[in-house]
Structure 1
Amino acid sequence: MADPSLYTYPSPLEGYQGLEPLPNEKASDGKSFVNPPAEKKSEAYNSFVAPISNGIRGGFDVHIYFLQVDAEEVKFAAELWERIRREFPELRIYKVWDRPIGPHPLAMFEVNLFTPVEQFGAFIPWLVVNRGPLSALIHPNTDDEGRDHTQRATWMGQPLPLNLKLFKQSRA
C-alpha cells in the first residue's frame, strides 16, 4: 500500500463551506442522524467523480486472482468467469490469464465497470457474495496508475503484493 503522506488531499467539504449546520436529530433507529433533503441527487449517481475516467477505459477495473497451481482455485475461477459473463454480459470481461501479467502477482481475469450505480452498484455487492476464496483488487482508472493500484485501491479477500516497479518505470 502506498504511503498516504505521499499525496495531497483536497478538503472533503470543498463546495459545501458556509452552509447551515446539520441537525443533531437522531433517526428512528436511535443511532443514525436525520439529514436534510438535498435539492437534487449527487452527480456521483450518474458519473464517476473526477479524476476517475468516464470514458472508453471504464471507471474501475476489478482484477480477480487465483493461484494457477491450485486445481480447485483454477476451476473455481473459470466457473466464476463464466458466471460473470452470463449474468453481467454488459460488462467488459477479459480473458483468463493463467500466469502473472503486468503488476499482478498471480493468474487473474479483469472486469471493467463503466457506471457508478448500475454496474458498480450491482457487480461489487454480487462479487462480495460470490467470489469464494479468491482475492479481488478494485481500483479506479485515473491518470495515475501507481496511485490507482495502491492508495486508491480496495481489496476483497487477502491483499496481494503488486509489482509496482512497472509504474515507476512508466513515469521515468
Structure 2
Amino acid sequence: MSDPYLYKYPSPVDGYEGLEPLPNEKAEDGKSLINPPAKNKSEAYTSFVSPITNGIRGGFDVHIYFLQSDAEETKFATQLWERIRREFPELRIYNVWDRPIGPHPVAMFEVNLFTPEQFGAFIPWLVINRGPLSALIHPNTDDEMRDHTQRATWMGQPLPLSTKIFK
C-alpha cells in the first residue's frame, strides 16, 4: 500500500467554518449523538465526490479475486460472477480472467459501479455473498496508482498488486 503521507489532503471542515458548535446530546439509543438537521441532503447521495469520475468509466471498480489453481475457488468465483450478472444487470460486469492481468496478481473479474445508489446496494451484498474471495474496491480518478493503493479498500485478504505499470 502506498504511504498515505505522500499525499496532501483538503481539510475535512472546509466550508463548515464559523458554524455553531455541535450538540453533545445523546440520541434514544443512549450512545450516539443527535445531529442537527441539514438544510439539504448531501450531494454524495446522488453523485460521487470529486475527483471520482461520474462518467462512462464508472466511479468505482470492484475486482473480485480467486486462485485459478484452486478448482473449488474457481467454481465459486464463476458462480458468483453469474449471480451478480443476474441480480445486478445494470452494472458493467467483465468476463472472468483465468490468469493475472494488469496489476492484479491472480485471476479475477471486475464490476463497475456508476452511482452512489449502486455502490450502496452492491457493496453490502458483496460483503455477505463473496464467500472466501478477496475483493479490491477502488475509485476511478486521474491517479491510477493512488486509486489502487492509498484510496483502495479491501474485503478479505489484501493481495499485493503489481503497481509498476502505473509508473
* Corresponding position of 2:38: 38
Supply the AA of the counterpart residue of 2:132: P
Aligned length: 167
* Corresponding position of 1:133: 132
- Which aligned runs of 4 or more in structure 1 are off by greater than 2 angstroms? none
User: Could you list the runs of 5+ residues in structure 1 that have no partner in the other structure?
Assistant: none
| 1:4 Cα deviation from its structure 2 partner | 0.8
Residues in 1 aligned to 2:18 and 2:59: alpha-carbon distance in whole angstroms: 32
Residues in 2 aligned to 1:19 and 1:82: alpha-carbon distance in whole angstroms: 50
Matched, 1:119 2:104: no
| 1:83 Cα deviation from its structure 2 partner | 0.1
* Corresponding position of 1:144: 143
Q: TM-score, normalised by structure 2?
A: 0.99
* Corresponding position of 1:98: 98
* Corresponding position of 2:60: 60
Supply the AA of the counterpart residue of 1:54: N
Residues in 1 aligned to 2:15 and 2:98: alpha-carbon distance in whole angstroms: 47
Matched, 1:89 2:89: yes
* Corresponding position of 1:11: 11
* Corresponding position of 1:157: 156
| 1:73 Cα deviation from its structure 2 partner | 0.3
Structure 2 counterpart SS, 1:97: coil
Q: Percent same amino acid at aligned positions?
A: 85
| 1:30 Cα deviation from its structure 2 partner | 1.0
Residues in 1 aligned to 2:79 and 2:71: alpha-carbon distance in whole angstroms: 12
Residues in 1 aligned to 2:110 and 2:6: alpha-carbon distance in whole angstroms: 28
Structure 1 counterpart SS, 2:48: coil
* Corresponding position of 2:49: 49
User: Could you list the runs of 5+ residues in structure 2 that have no partner in the other structure?
Assistant: none
| 1:85 Cα deviation from its structure 2 partner | 0.1
Residues in 2 aligned to 1:14 and 1:157: alpha-carbon distance in whole angstroms: 34
Residues in 1 aligned to 2:153 and 2:4: alpha-carbon distance in whole angstroms: 14
